């Protein structure tokens, strides 16, 4: 890097909210499984503490040495349903408590992997874990949960979709005294990646090594500033090129941090996830990037096209910078975590229908959306089914993280604080899909699945 590039990176960090959003250590728990649930939970705690004891300190040391903000240090583990399946009849809650205790012991921000993979049906441990999610997320502080209910290869497990509508609602009710925070730590996926470092959907896939370091880099403020400074009068093709170059620089920084963390912890380097993950901070908004391209406000017609351009350019720039780009890598659109999205939702310009259209081209899906507390579980299941269908047919990851605001209606707000932000309760179409959801069974995999 020449002097100008170094100064440019320093400016990105100081003035444009560039940061490494997370260093996430993935840990396999498969060797902790056994018929004695208490012994298995103890093994889970011990292994996490043994592998991750230096994770936080290493992140802080790298941050100090290179001057790069590393906001979160996190852990992802093997989907706990796989471990719980070895002790049938025992409550998986003891594993949630073990995860939470280990996360507090090593000092990380979150631990993900209280999860089940049920895209094609329920295996041993899956059903019990899903049933336990509301209680687990209400009785722990740092545990995050996810359930994968569909994939392009398997289709959509509609029995799981029906169940997750009820579980999301119950999880919000269990934490109603805390702004329904439990539902903000629960994600329902289609095509969930096994190497995602971002919460709340992170888990350590069964195809991953015993331990690995993944890094998530975030720079929506940098992209917004680049468009603001250099985008005047440029065509959309030139804007795409500008975003690609900016994403390249961001990814190189992430690669540096990932390799350094891998070396110091003596753990294999997995992937860099270049996802433009916004925060409520001023200037750190994906919505403001889209508005910088010429939209009056996020949610206006043209928003989906602008987001498609952004997502594609980010991926192309990242892939040029590193051969280890993975995870989700693109643009996130979490409403409560993005200052521009919050404003657009408050004004009514950004609606749930428009957000669903945007998920066809973004990196995740309907993320951190507050909905009225009187929404039925069947409506939540309908939202999940629609989003899963978009992911299944388009061979992409989609997810739903909605928060039913117990006791609140459209126009009121929830405030989670920190990176989770705050946001208005968005109106929802209340026409019931109950009969459709109750049919159960499986939506078959699409023709696109037959690629062999």
Establish if 238 belongs to a structural domain. yes
pLDDT digits (tens, 9 = 90+) for 391-443: 999 999 999 999 999 999 888 888 887 778 888 999 999 999 999 999 999 99
Query: Are residues 270 and 415 both part of a single domain?
Result: yes
Residue 186 exposure: Cα atoms within 13 Å on the Cβ side: 32
Whether 225 and 172 map to the same domain: the answer is no
Instruction: Inform me whether the pLDDT recorded for 219 exceeds 80.
Output: no
Among 216-220, 241-245, 400-404, top mean pLDDT goes to 400-404
Pairing of the two strands 155-157 and 330-331: unpaired
* Residue in the structure block whose two tokens are 């540096």: 256
Q: Mean pLDDT, the chain, as a whole number?
A: 89
The average pLDDT across 263-269 equals 92
Distance CA 273, CA 299 (A): 26
Q: Which residue has the tokens 């995050």?
A: 144
Indicate whether 44 and 118 sit together in one domain: yes
Count of structural domains, the chain? 2
For 276-305, write each residue's pLDDT tens digit. 888 777 667 899 999 999 999 999 999 999
The phi, psi pair for 94, rounded to 5°, reads: -60, -30
pLDDT of residue 9: 65
Q: Are 276 and 346 in contact (CB under 8 A)?
A: no
Residue with tokens 């059903």: 127
Predicted local distance difference test score (pLDDT) of residue 77: 96
| 216-222 mean pLDDT | 81
Single residue among 173, 190, 207 that ends a domain in this structure: 190
- Read off the pLDDT of each residue in 259-286 and give the average, rounded to a whole number: 85
Residue that terminates a domain, selected from 190, 223, 244: 190
Structure confidence by residue, pLDDT tens digits, 46-66:
999 999 999 999 999 988 888
Has residue 223 got a pLDDT over 90?
A: no
Pairwise CA distance, residues 71 & 215, whole Å: 11
Per-residue pLDDT, 216: 87
Nearest residue to 136 (alpha-carbon basis) of 179, 177, 178, 167: 167
Residue 4 belongs to a domain:
no
Residue written as token pair 């995740």: 364
In a domain, residue 134? The reply is: yes
**Does residue 378 share a domain with residue 337?**
yes
**Are 172 and 301 in a shared domain?**
no
Q: What is the Cα–Cα distance from 234 to 148, expressed in whole angstroms?
A: 41
Domain with residue 387: its CATH number is 3.20.70.20
Helix spans in 73-125 (H)? 80-84, 93-106
Confidence label for 17 from pLDDT (cuts 50, 70 and 90):
low
pLDDT at 203: 94
Residue 276 forms part of a structural domain: yes
What is the reported pTM? 0.91
At residue 163, the 3 state secondary structure works out as helix
Domain stop point among 190, 205, 230? 190
Percent of the chain with pLDDT over 90: 62
Q: Say how many Å lie between the first and final Cα of the chain, rounded.
A: 43
Q: Is the pLDDT of residue 364 over 70?
A: yes
In percent, how much of the chain has pLDDT > 70? 96
Q: Please report whether residue 206 resides in a domain.
A: no
> 237 with 153, same domain?
no
Task: Note the pLDDT tens digit of each residue in 139-189.
Answer: 999 999 999 999 999 999 999 999 999 999 999 999 999 989 999 999 999
Give the list of residues 6+ apart from residue 300 with CB closer than 8 angstroms, or none.
Answer: 349
Question: What is d(CA 60, CA 338) in angstroms, rounded to the nearest whole number?
Answer: 26
Mean pLDDT of 327-337: 85
Indicate whether 241 pLDDT > 60: yes
Same structural domain for residues 137 and 261? Answer: no
Mean pLDDT along residues 250-254: 81
> Residue 106's domain spans which residues?
26-190
The DSSP call for residue 202 is -
Asked whether residue 9 is assigned to any structural domain, the reply reads no
pLDDT digits (tens, 9 = 90+) for 78-90: 999 999 988 888 8
Note whether residue 68 is domain-resident.
yes
Sign of CA dihedral 298, 301, 304, 307: negative
CB distance 138 to 182 below 8 Å: yes
Same domain, 295 and 354: yes
**Range among 14-18, 195-199, 352-356 rated most confident:** 352-356
Give the range among 134-138, 265-269, 270-274, 299-303 with minimum mean pLDDT: 270-274
Same domain, 231 and 335: yes
Q: How far apart are CA 402 and CA 185, in angstroms?
A: 10
> Residue 6's pLDDT is what?
56
| Model pLDDT, residue 67 | 80
Cβ atoms of 108 and 23 within 8 Å: the answer is: no
On whether both 337 and 374 belong to a single domain, the answer is yes
Q: Is residue 80 within 8 Å of 96, Cβ to Cβ? A: yes
Position 295 scores a pLDDT of 93
CB 328, CB 275: distance < 8 Å: yes
What does the pLDDT read at residue 49?
A: 96
Is residue 167 situated within a structural domain? yes
Quick one: 182 and 255 in the same domain?
no
Q: Which of 193, 185, 206, 186 is nearest to 85 (CA)?
A: 206
Residue 450 pLDDT more than 90? no
Q: Could you give the maximum distance between any two Cα atoms of the chain, in Å?
A: 66
Please name the residues in contact with 235: beta carbons below 8 A apart, sequence gap of 6 or more: none
Same domain, residue pair 284 and 317: yes
- What angle do helix axes 236-265 and 220-230 make, rounded to 10 degrees? 150
Question: Residue 365's CB: how many other CB atoms inside 10 A?
Answer: 32
């Amino acid at each position: 890097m020449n002097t100008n590039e170094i100064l440019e990176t320093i400016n990105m960090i100081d003035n444009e909210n560039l940061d490494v959003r997370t260093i996430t250590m993935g840990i396999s728990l498969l060797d902790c499984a056994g018929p004695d649930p208490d012994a298995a939970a103890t093994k889970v705690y011990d292994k996490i503490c043994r592998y991750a004891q230096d994770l936080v300190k290493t992140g802080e040391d790298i941050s100090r040495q290179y001057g790069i903000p590393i906001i979160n240090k996190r852990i992802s583990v093997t989907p706990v349903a796989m471990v719980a399946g070895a002790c049938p009849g025992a409550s998986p809650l003891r594993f949630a408590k073990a995860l939470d205790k280990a996360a507090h012991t090593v000092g990380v921000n979150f631990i993900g992997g209280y999860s089940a993979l049920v895209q094609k049906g329920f295996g041993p441990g899956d059903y019990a874990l899903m049933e336990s999610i509301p209680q687990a997320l209400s009785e722990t502080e740092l545990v995050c949960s996810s359930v994968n209910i569909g994939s392009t290869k398997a289709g959509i497990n509609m029995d799981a979709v029906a169940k997750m509508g009820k579980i999301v609602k119950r999880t919000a009710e269990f934490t109603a005294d805390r702004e329904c925070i439990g539902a903000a730590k629960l994600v329902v996926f289609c095509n969930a990646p096994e190497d995602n470092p971002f919460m709340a959907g992170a888990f350590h896939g069964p195809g991953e090594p015993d331990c690995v370091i993944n890094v998530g880099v975030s720079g929506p403020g940098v992209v917004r500033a680049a468009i603001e400074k250099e985008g005047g009068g440029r065509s959309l093709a030139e804007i795409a090129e500008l975003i690609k170059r900016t994403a390249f620089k961001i990814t190189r920084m992430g690669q540096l941090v990932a390799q350094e963390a891998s070396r110091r912890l003596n753990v294999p380097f997995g992937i860099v996830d270049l996802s433009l993950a916004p925060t409520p901070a001023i200037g750190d908004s994906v919505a403001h990037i889209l508005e910088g391209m010429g939209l009056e406000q996020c949610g206006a017609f043209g928003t989906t096209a602008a987001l498609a351009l952004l997502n594609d350019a980010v991926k192309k720039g990242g892939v040029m910078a590193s051969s280890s780009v993975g995870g989700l890598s693109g643009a996130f659109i979490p409403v409560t975590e993005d200052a521009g999205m919050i404003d657009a939702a408050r004004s009514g310009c950004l609606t749930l229908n428009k957000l669903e259209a945007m998920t066809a081209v973004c990196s995740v899906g309907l993320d951190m959306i507050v909905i009225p507390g009187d929404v039925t579980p069947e409506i939540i299941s309908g939202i999940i089914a629609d989003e899963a269908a978009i992911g299944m047919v388009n061979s992409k990851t989609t997810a739903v993280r909605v928060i039913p605001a117990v006791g609140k209606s459209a126009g009121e707000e929830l405030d989670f604080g920190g990176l989770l932000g705050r946001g208005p309760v968005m109106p929802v179409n209340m026409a019931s899909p109950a009969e459709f959801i109750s049919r159960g069974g499986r939506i078959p995999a699409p023709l696109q699945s037959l690629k062999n």
